[in-house]
Amino acid sequence: MRRLWIVVVVLALLAVILPGVGPASAQQNRIIVYSALPDLETSLVHREFTRRTGIQVEALSVAAAGTLQARIRAEKDRPRADIFVGGSRDFHIPLAREGLLLAYRSPVAAEAKVSPDYLDPAGFWHGWYLGALSIIINTDRWDREMAPRRVAKPATWDDLAKAEFRGQFVMPSPITTGGGYIFVAGQVFRLGEDRAWTFLKALSANAVQFTPTAPGTITLLERGEAIVGMMWAHEAIGARTLRGAPLEVIVPPDTGFEVGAVSIIKGGPNPAGARAYIDFLMTRVPQDINARYGFRYPVRGDVEVPRGATPFNQLKFVKYDLEWAIQNQVRLRERWTREIGR
């Protein structure tokens, strides 16, 4: 009787395993994509890509560009993936400098007259969406706890450092996330380095947490673990529109922004497919999907701005020196560890 069971189990297992094992089917018409965007947008964009080009996509979505950057570095002797998509250009530029990316200038980008600000002059990365940092408020808790005390809603970065918000502020860690770092560098550009650190120290006294991943900040705000926060506006608008999260978005003056990039990994298995992918992302359809479901701004002028978002050109940005921000990344992060220590 027991023998019989063992035989049944073994046969069932073989039936499960055998079809999947063996050399990966030698599919020529396939690209492998590392995506730092959430599952939803990624899979919708890829469905359209496959429908239009006939090229299959195998994607790994991890909502943390640093992880994917690390993978691409680790795999540099034998690259597995063709495309690195999503995440601010801050993650693509170091890879390009290390010689891990393949240059390409998409004719579609030129055709669509995408602003040269969003394209790498050397062609290592193409910007295809934009995002702005913002103040985010959990309105449920605000109405219950702050409104009765007649606290004014924060409208500038400096407001976030006020004593009313002690233990109620959350933002992504500048040590482990791109958004957190762009914010800190932005404060240096806004205030100069010395005053920036005074401000950051006051801010950190309010912080309940510096979340190690970027989505973690939205999670905490959405659950009401904090009342105010600093995060990409599109993440909060998305949570509000798609899940009914009680979040309000205020984009303060002197904010920072990201240029969400896509790049081709040098030595990947299918460079022709990768070029087709870049061309596709520069067209209207994927940027529209990303605006509709990810609430990120398109770089093309002919795609509608996401619902509930202020038009990008009406936002007031801090003068952001990209080169300085990249050069000083290690130093600022070390100083953060030393002086804030969280």
Partner 1 sequence: MAVARWGDLRRHAGDPWLLVTFAGAAAALGIFVLYPAFRVLVYPTWQDYLAIPRSLRWMQAARNSLVMMVISTVTATFIGLAFAFATTRADMPGRRLFRTIAMLPLFAPPFMVAFAYILMFGRQGLVTKSLLGLSANIFGWHGLWLVQTIAFFPLAMLIIAGVLDAVNPSLEHAARNLGADEWTVVKTISLALARPGIAGAMLVVAISVLADFGNAVIIAGGFPLLATEAWFRMEGMGDLKGAALVVAMLLVPTAGLFLLERFWVSRRVYTVVTGRGSRIARPPTPAFLRWAAVAICTLASLLIFLVYFGVIAGAFTTVWGRDWSLTLDHWRLAADRISSLWVSVKIGALAGLITGTVGVLVAFLTSRSLPLRHVLDFLAVLPGALPGVFVGVGYVLAFNPTFIGGTMWTLAAALAFWHLPMGYQAASARFKQIERAIEEAAVNLGATGLRVLRDVYLPLLLPALVEAFAVSFIRAVTNVSIVVFLITPGQVVATFVILNMIQNNIWGAAGALTTMLLLLTFVAIGLTWLSVGRIVRSPGVG
Contacting positions for partner 1 (CB under 8 A):
2, 5-6, 9, 13, 16-17, 20-21, 24, 32-34, 38-39, 58-64, 66-67, 69-70, 73-75, 77-78, 80-81, 91, 173, 175-177, 207-213, 215-216, 218-220, 222-225, 239, 243-245, 337-338, 341-342
90 vs 288 by CB, closer to partner 1: 90
Place of tokens 């801090």: 318
Q: Are strands 297-298 and 83-88 parallel, antiparallel or unpaired?
A: unpaired
Distance of closest approach, residue 39 Cβ to partner 1, in angstroms: 7
> Which residues, including other chains, have CB under 8 Å from residue 301's CB and lie 6 or more apart?
112, 113
227 vs 259 by CB, closer to partner 1: 227
Cβ density class 64-98: b for 16+ within 10 Å, e for less: bbbebbebbeebeeebbbbbbbbbbbbbbbebbee
68 vs 191 by CB, closer to partner 1: 68
114 vs 218 by CB, closer to partner 1: 218
Orientation angle between helical segments 271-281 and 39-53, nearest 10 degrees: 110
- Sign of the alpha-carbon dihedral angle for 12, 18, 21, 27: negative
Distance of closest approach, residue 308 Cβ to partner 1, in angstroms: 18
Distance of closest approach, residue 193 Cβ to partner 1, in angstroms: 20
28 vs 115 by CB, closer to partner 1: 28
Distance of closest approach, residue 302 Cβ to partner 1, in angstroms: 30
Distance of closest approach, residue 148 Cβ to partner 1, in angstroms: 15
